[in-house]
Structure 1
Amino acid sequence: MTTVSTEPSAQSASADASAAASALLASNRKRRRIRRWIAIGTLPLTLAALLFVGKLLSMYAFAHQAISAYVVDDYAGSEASAHGQEFLNWFEPFKAPFNIGTALAGAEKLPEARAELEKALELAHGLEVCTVRINLALVIERQGDAAVADGDGAAGAEFYGEALTITSETPEECNSEDAQKQSSDPDRDMQQTKEDTEDRLKQKQQEQEQQQQPEEEKPEEQPEPQPSEEKLDELKEKLEQGQQERDQRQDGEDGGGTGTDKPW
């Protein structure tokens, strides 16, 4: 009987297993390389996403701090928080100067507040300009009030005119419900505030311009009405009559009589 050898078969199986293991290891190394390059390639996107989320959270945090500080009259704290909104503010670039200007106005730093609000107006788009224009007009109006209080009525009238221009150039879309929803002060009716501000500015400007008119241009004061000749004669007659009665009464008192004084 012939015995069949199994050595070639065992050797073949071992070789196949070794080849399969090598192929598996090579495949794993390839996958690891691919994952590593994918991780490296997506790292900027991951960092950008983290930065985006962090920026959004910081914007809301700084905005909340600015509003909270302003409500309690901490204008310096409100201004500091608003400055935190300036860094990489791609989404609402007008918000930082708007909040800074509003805080400065609360601290009565009117020229600085106006400069920031004018910057905000340049950066604002669409309905964003509505609330910026209202606050800017109010700040310029207060500049006019300060000038008038210092005795410079001409400068006051000029400030009032500038504020009136700001309000009159407000887009019609600012009277919409959508604009009201975007207002920095939901409790303030934007359209009513605009109309009240315009009326107030017109009155103030007119008053200051009238006061600045030269004397010759001012309307002449109406002379007080003079009594007619008839009234003068009647008054003269009463005075003479009264004098006669007083003389007669004086004579009666000298003779021991009594008399009643009349209320001339």
Structure 2
Amino acid sequence: MTAPATTQDASAAASALLASNRRRRRIRRWIMIGTLPLTLAALLCVGKLLSMYAFAHQAVSAYVVDDYSGSEASARGQEFLNWFEPYKAPFNVGTALAGSERLPEARAKLEEALALAHGLEVCGVRVNLALVIERMGDAARSDGDGGKAAELYAEALTVTAETPPECDSDEAQKQSSDPQRDMSKSIDDLEDRLKQKQQEQEQPPQEKPEEQPEEQEQPQPQPDKLEELKDKLEQGTQERDQRQGGDEPGGSGTDKPW
């Protein structure tokens, strides 16, 4: 049998237990300190993801009801720490600016989004960018600047023509920001429309037909002159009848040649 433990042995065991506990606490503290940056980063990522979806939802909801300023404000909220899908923030801002007819600013934001987009992300960006440039061309045409309009239509056509073939796929349609819009059909219609507008601007203006001078109306004789002509006609008729009736000397009484 083991001998009973003495008081000294119990004290030593207690001291060893305390030392072990202090060592474990130090280890936990250093582990906590070491993992604190990772914990903060994880919390930041979760917060960013939640805020990104919240701002994106607000931007879309405001755009649908034509609240373009509200949509822009919500989309700009996505720009802070824009790590996840970085193209979406400038894309949403540019789309909202286009709704407000701030076309040059919208174009700049959409071009920024295009530079950040990858794969099928470029499909929707290219469609909206081409539409904005087309509307800039329409504005130039309305201002009478046909040359600038043709230049903008050509730029929009280039953006559309460089759309990857993958944008015609079902996968691209699923990733579209507007599922109600047929991506493939939108691209084809846009390209056809731009070609037609560009051709219209490149055609020389048709010359207006020269106006034919109006025919001068013959002056109508005055009533007094009419009476005078009538009297002369009657007098000539009487003289003719007299000659034909043999009133004049030497008359034969036969009709003379007219």
State if a TM-score over 0.5 links the two structures: yes
The answer to whether the aligner puts 1:169 opposite 2:162 as a matched pair is yes
Q: What is aligned with 1:33?
A: 26
Over the aligned positions, Cα root-mean-square deviation in angstroms equals 1.5
Deviation beyond 6 Å, 4+ runs, structure 1: none
Q: Structure 1: which 5+ residue stretches go unaligned? A: 1-8, 216-220, 222-264
User: Residue 90 of structure 1: CA displacement?
Assistant: 1.3
> Please, which of 132, 135, 139 is the counterpart of residue 125 of structure 2?
132
Matched ranges for 1:56-75 at <5 A: 56-75=49-68
Matched residue pairs, number?
206
TM-score by length of 2: 0.77
Structure 1 contact 153–212 (Cα < 8 Å) conserved: no
Q: Which amino acid aligns with 1:131?
A: G
Alignment partner of 1:211: what SS?
Answer: coil
Structure 2 Cα separation of the partners of residues 97 and 201 of structure 1: 25
Structure 1 Cα separation of the partners of residues 204 and 73 of structure 2: 41
Structure 1 contact 154–212 (Cα < 8 Å) conserved: no
Structure 2 Cα separation of the partners of residues 65 and 119 of structure 1: 21
Alignment partner of 2:203: what SS?
Answer: helix
Alignment partner of 1:137: what SS?
Answer: helix
The one-character-per-residue Cα deviations of 1:21-52 (angstroms, maximum 9, x if unpaired) are 11111111111111111111110010000000
Larger mean CA deviation between 83-92 and 44-53 belongs to 83-92
Q: Structure 2: which 5+ residue stretches go unaligned? A: 210-258
Structure 1 contact 102–135 (Cα < 8 Å) conserved: yes
Structure 2 Cα separation of the partners of residues 114 and 124 of structure 1: 15
TM-score by length of 1: 0.76
> Please, which of 76, 88, 101 is the counterpart of residue 69 of structure 2?
76
Q: Which amino acid aligns with 2:146?
A: G
Structure 1 vs Structure 2: percent identity of aligned residues? 78
The answer to whether the aligner puts 1:54 opposite 2:47 as a matched pair is yes
Q: What is aligned with 2:80?
A: 87
> Please, which of 1, 13, 20 is the counterpart of residue 6 of structure 2?
13
Matched ranges for 1:1-264 at <5 A: 13-211=6-204
Structure 1 contact 121–132 (Cα < 8 Å) conserved: yes
Structure 2 Cα separation of the partners of residues 208 and 194 of structure 1: 21
Larger radius of gyration: 2
